[in-house]
Amino acid sequence: MDPKALKLGVTKLKNLANNALFVKCKSKTDRDILEMELGKLNAVTVERPKRKLPTLLLMFVPKDVEDAAIKDTILQQNNLTHIEDPVLNIKFTKRTFEDSRNVVIEVSPNLRRESVALQKIKLYWSMCKVEDFVVVTRCLKCLGFGHTSRFCQNQLKCSHCAENHHWKECGKQHPNRCANCLKANTYIHDDSKKINTNHRVFSKECPRMRRIESIIISKTDCSS
């Protein structure tokens, strides 16, 4: 197979286990051409990477509503029974209040689209606000992404000043500094492209946090 003749744009090649090869194309058109050509080969099996299901934040779910009842209640009470093969899995409770809780749910793309369009979900005697939620795995020791403190072998970082101590021990004599953005800047050699570090590491405006969220969204199946 000649990528020159096919005029393919390939941006990444990576060897995987079991003699598999990951190929990332420049565009969907290039991907479709490559899939068509590979489909002509009997010795090759083509498979697209599976994308993650989207997650939603369901707010103020009454405490007396059990997890097992949430899916059927949402579908029945909100006229969503027409959705084909709906998926709804309870991931975790994000926050608990006196008589309610915020619950993160994993849903199929078709259920996600219609739920977000409703903005508020009927749930027994309550109206629960619903919005997209990006689940980011984060370490509370080094404050980095992609792992938890249980498996962390990195240096402890302060969430206020980014120094090597616990936030409870921080005198806060220095302004806020983000450990993740400071680390990212060490890989950026052009000073004009360095990102702002003057914010708390848990800030919603953190450039590194937004970058990680965009990567997760790009791997999420929200197409339906």
Delineate the domains of the chain, giving CATH numbers in brackets.
3-38 (no CATH), 55-132 (3.30.70), 149-218 (no CATH)
Three-state secondary structure call for residue 170: coil
Which DSSP letter does residue 154 get?
S
Write the CA distances from 150 to 141, 142, 154, 158, 214, integer angstroms.
Answer: 9, 11, 11, 17, 25
DSSP lists the bridge partners of residue 112 as none
CA angle at 92 for the pair 70 and 88, rounded to the nearest 5°:
40
Please list the ranges in the chain whose pLDDT falls under 50: none
- 85 phi-psi bin (left φ>0, alpha ψ -120 to 50, beta other): left
Q: What is the pLDDT of residue 175?
A: 81
Quickly count: other Cβ atoms within 10 Å of residue 35's Cβ: 14
Contact 122, 77 (CB under 8 A): yes
Q: Count the helix, strand and coil residues of the chain and give each as a percent rounded to the nearest 5.
A: 30, 25, 50
